[in-house]
Amino acid sequence: MSKYDDLIKSKMSEENFNKLASLENDEVLDFVGAAIELCEPDSVFVGNDSDEDVAYCRQLAIDNKEETPLNIEGHTVHFDGYFDQARKKDVTKYLVPADETLDPKLGQMDRDEGVKEMEDLQRGGYKGRQMLVRFFCLGPVGTEFAIPCLQITDSAYVIHSEDLLYRRGYEEFKSRDAGLEFFKYRHATGEVNERNCSKHPELNRVYMDYTQNTTLSVNTQYAGNTVGLKKLSLRLALRKADREGWLAEHMFIMRSNGPNGRKTYLAGAFPSACGKTSTAMIPGENIVGDDLAYFKVIDGEFRAANVENGIFGIITDVNANDDPVIHKVLTSPGEVIFGNVLVKDGRPYWSGMGEETAKDGTNYVSGEWTEGMEGPDGNPTNPSHKNARYTVQMRDLENADPDWDAPKGLKIDGIIYGGRDSDTSVPVREAYSWEHGVCTMGATLESETTAATIGQEGVRNWNVMSNMDFLSMSVGRYIQNNLDFAKDIKRPIVFGTNYFIKKDGEYLNGKLDKSIWIKWMELRVHGDVEAIDAAYGKIPLFEDLKRLFKEVLDSDYTEQDYVDQFMIRIPECVAKLDRMDKIFATIDDNPQTMKDEMAAQRTRLEELRAAKGDYISPLDL
């Protein structure tokens, strides 16, 4: 029995109330009731796992004009406001109780202050609208990976997106005891203009109340801020994993297909623009998930599950040649939500689609866009936003691994940390140990900017295991959790990649070369090929790469290619250690293992330099 029973009943039909009551969960009722009291909806819809309730929410997104149907059956387009196109770090904060502290590197504010501000911004926010209550699940339902989730919003687009991206979770709630731990989300669209975009982007707020497993957002439509189960959940899951002894990671999962039908599963963390999606979708391999993974020890094995049920991907540069699987989904009948692309005559266009885009139409800038138009801030605009998106389901991908939703997850044999630099790291290397890989490849992950992104080339952004933006604990504690995980079992081999090494300003890797590095990792996992000690990891032998290039890409790989790509660049490697030492000197709880591994790496590199010079050909190792 909830104190809100009468209020709840007054806002919904008997059928909807019975859906809530049948869960026999007072925490659910209280969260729903408090949202009704605060946001004051005209009515409330409660959905279960039925196809009818899912279809209702999808149609509502169209009826409310949050999405517009396109020419291809099942395709719709959604537009966010001009100033609401991505996550905003400065307004995304943890709500921290007065008697607690978080790592100072994390965005945060006093909990009481944040709760009050959010309530003030959301108060009455559902007036004239219907409040939507839906239940989802992170991870495979009915398994030890599963985390039930309750979403409250006034946006049918948010619910439609979650129906594509996550598993249905009403029955998960129903099957569990009333005291189960679950994640909760309350989103309010806020006042909107004629395009259903926020009138007050300056009042966009995204707060995580981790003491209540709750995220709160307002005055935003962009899915990264409103689809609670995505990165907002990752922050909550990191803390849950910390309490329970497992890992929540910003990683894809893929299957590499080895000799004689062998299946080898790899997981990888790559910061933005480092090749994450293209690696997960390598032709000839199979994708399990492209963004989020939970790691647990099950039956004595290091296993991972895809947290999600679909892909919320960047559409820029997706084309038939480079991304044939995704491109086919985006051009075939089936359920797809396009976000912030250009639309003309019912057809979507985006930058890098491999064909000429329309010169005018409807896009993220205004109701009607024409080539050369400036945005409200006076800046030049593009046909589609650089962060334009597509939302699709895993089941629609031809290369989805048949076991992507396995109840016990999948055994992981390799972990990849993919960075981006033009002058330091070789295309692929293998760590000496789990500790060496976590510390010198994962914890020191960097992504180098380009002039095209911020106007200054060569800036190295540190991004610990590609999870820096989502950490909800200190950096040192997070690294230690990774070091301690699965200590008593065989752990995956750790690899580092860098697809962006250059010589004389030109990339030394072709776009398809990553398929070779993956094949080499697969062979190394099973001990099928040897490797050379390069002082900061093990690298491939030339003969193995020459054979793989011929077998996989039918191309010739020369000794000069090998020397250029796998040159050991001691000064640059030591300079990276210097950068990392400065960063980690500011981390109070930096693990001793991290200090030891970094010191050992420096010693090996300096010894190699003393023996062979600053730049060493792999043929001389």
Q: Which residues are catalytic?
A: 274
Rounded CA separation 306/409 (Å): 8
First to last CA, the chain: 72
Positive or negative CA dihedral for 531, 535, 537, 542?
negative
Pairing of strands 369-370, 446-448: unpaired
User: How many Cα atoms within 13 Å fall on the side-chain side of residue 313?
Assistant: 27
DSSP H or E segment with residue 38: helix 26-39
Q: How far is Cα 197 from Cα 190, in angstroms, rounded to an integer?
A: 9
Q: What is the DSSP letter of 66?
A: S
HSE-up of residue 501 (Cα within 13 Å, Cβ side): 24
Closest Cα partner for 138 from 53, 58, 61, 236? 236
| Beta-sheet pairing, 108-110 with 92-96 | parallel
Q: How far apart are CA 426 and CA 439, in angstroms?
A: 17
Amino acid symbol at 552: V
- In order of 24, 145, 170, 391, the CA distances from 176 in angstroms are 10, 14, 10, 30
Strand partners, 391: 312, 337
Cβ partners under 8 Å of residue 77, min gap 6: 67, 68, 70, 337, 338, 339, 341, 343, 348
The residue among 382, 386, 479, 481 whose CA lies nearest residue 439 is: 479
- The closest alpha carbon to 19, from 27, 29, 10, belongs to 29
Residues in the chain: 621
Residue 547, token pair as written in the block: 């054979």
